[in-house]
């Protein structure tokens, strides 16, 4: 990839290390389950994370009550809901047999609202969501619920795409991590998480829109400051400053480097529905095969006002 690079194993023979606190930050993991192909991959990922890191796992299935408004459709809806509850109970029992602390909840209501309430009630540290496969047009439209959660979740979201049966993925171990930053508050929070979860190598990338990235050292120095030299922890880090469309540069880096995880800042809650659909985060999630960790700006957001805001949106 063209651009300015900081000291790294591939640059002038020097290696940069960053301070990485190796305490897993996700002690309570929530997996939103709808029994689709997408949520199946998300469930396996959440389960593996909880097993490896001794975290609590909460399985949440939300029943949308809209179907009950139509008398002709009510009996079928009741049967589906009964089957969903039985399936969730079966999954919980299987997970518990593996020694993973697990609980399950079946909620009825507006899906996004009920998930946000579960995150608040359990002080969740991570929400795992399944996302759709990439479309022939090169992007997958994220559902309305997912877009709302990206902007309003009080905790990081791990977006997991469906698996290729011919190439099963190993979840739970994030050796090589790619973190993208635009120096916004949310992306700085994302970089903090990337430092904590990277197991072997961290690449920090910034795409400068000014077009002067090759002769201007400011962005590179800022990346070096955010991921400072620290030999004590032995985690190599590459600093990459490039120019152009951030979406394209992140996708190119992901295809070339094949990271185990991509980390990005969450969209602002002030974004409109159109902004969320066309945001950098949405485009990256749709175009890459690696799980994407989306981190909100660091702040407590479990207030009732947030739930009401999303419920009435």
Confidence check: pLDDT of 51 > 50? yes
Question: For 2-17, b where at least 16 C-beta lie within 10 A, e where not — what string?
Answer: ebbbbbbeeeeeebbb
Residue 291 confidence (pLDDT)? 93
Confidence check: pLDDT of 223 > 80? yes
292 vs 269: CA distance, rounded Å: 19
Confidence check: pLDDT of 204 > 60? yes
Residue 69: domain span: 4-311
Percent of the chain with pLDDT over 70: 72
Mean pLDDT of 142-162: 85
Mean pLDDT of 196-223: 81
Which has the higher per-residue pLDDT, 261 or 7? 261
User: What single DSSP character describes residue 163?
Assistant: P
Which has the higher per-residue pLDDT, 82 or 198? 198
Q: How many domains does the chain have?
A: 1
| pLDDT band (50, 70, 90) for residue 256 | very high
Mean of all residue pLDDT scores within the chain: 77
Residue 212 confidence (pLDDT)? 66
Residue 311 confidence (pLDDT)? 43
Percent of the chain with pLDDT over 90: 34
Among 7-16, 32-41, 140-149, the least confident range:
7-16
309 vs 313: CA distance, rounded Å: 6
Cβ atoms within 10 Å of 251's Cβ, excluding its own: 18
| pLDDT band (50, 70, 90) for residue 12 | very low
Confidence check: pLDDT of 22 > 70? no
Mean pLDDT of 29-53: 87
95 vs 139: CA distance, rounded Å: 33
Residue 2 confidence (pLDDT)? 46
Which has the higher per-residue pLDDT, 116 or 131? 116
Residue 68 confidence (pLDDT)? 46
Mean pLDDT of 178-183: 94
Q: What is the DSSP string of 10-67?
A: TBTTB--B-----S-S-SEEEEE--SSHHHHHHHHHHHHHHHHHT-EEEEEEEE-GGG
Residue 227 confidence (pLDDT)? 73
Q: What is the pTM of this model?
A: 0.80
Closest CA to 172 of 3, 43, 296: 43
Mean pLDDT of 76-92: 77
CATH of the domain at 39: 3.40.50.12370
Mean pLDDT of 274-303: 79
Residue 79 confidence (pLDDT)? 61
Residue 248 confidence (pLDDT)? 93
Residue 200 confidence (pLDDT)? 87
Mean pLDDT of 251-267: 94
Where in the chain does DSSP place strands (E)? 4-5, 28-32, 56-63, 102-108, 126-130, 157-160, 176-180, 201-208, 237-243, 261-265, 292-295
Among 49-53, 87-91, 299-303, the least confident range:
299-303
């Amino acid at each position: 990839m063209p651009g300015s690079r900081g000291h790294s194993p591939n640059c002038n023979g020097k290696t940069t290390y960053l301070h990485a606190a190796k305490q897993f930050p996700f002690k309570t993991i929530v997996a939103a389950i709808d029994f689709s192909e997408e949520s199946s991959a998300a469930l396996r990922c959440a389960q593996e994370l909880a097993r490896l890191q001794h975290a609590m796992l909460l399985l949440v299935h939300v029943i949308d009550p809209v179907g009950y408004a139509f008398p002709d459709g009510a009996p079928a809806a009741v049967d589906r809901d009964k089957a969903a509850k039985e399936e969730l109970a079966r999954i919980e029992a299987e997970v518990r047999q593996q020694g993973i602390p697990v609980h399950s909840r079946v909620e009825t209501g507006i899906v996004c609202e009920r998930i946000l309430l579960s995150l608040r009630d359990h002080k969740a540290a991570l929400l795992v969501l399944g996302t759709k496969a990439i479309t022939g047009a090169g992007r997958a439209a994220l559902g309305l619920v997912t877009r709302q959660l990206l902007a309003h979740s009080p905790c990081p979201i791990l977006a997991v795409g469906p698996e290729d049966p011919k190439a099963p993925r190993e979840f739970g171990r994030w050796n090589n991590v790619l973190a993208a930053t635009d120096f916004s508050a949310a992306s700085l929070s994302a970089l903090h998480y990337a430092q904590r979860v990277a197991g072997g190598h961290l690449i920090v990338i910034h795409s400068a829109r000014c077009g002067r990235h090759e002769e201007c050292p400011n962005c590179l120095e800022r990346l070096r400051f955010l991921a400072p030299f620290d030999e004590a922890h032995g985690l190599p880090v590459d600093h990459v400053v490039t120019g152009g469309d951030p979406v394209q540069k992140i996708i190119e880096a992901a295809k070339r480097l094949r990271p185990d995880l991509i980390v990005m800042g969450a969209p602002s809650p002030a974004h409109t529905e159109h902004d969320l659909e066309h945001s950098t985060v949405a485009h990256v999630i749709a175009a890459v095969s690696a799980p994407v960790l989306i981190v909100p700006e660091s702040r407590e957001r479990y207030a009732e006002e947030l739930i009401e805001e999303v419920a009435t949106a």
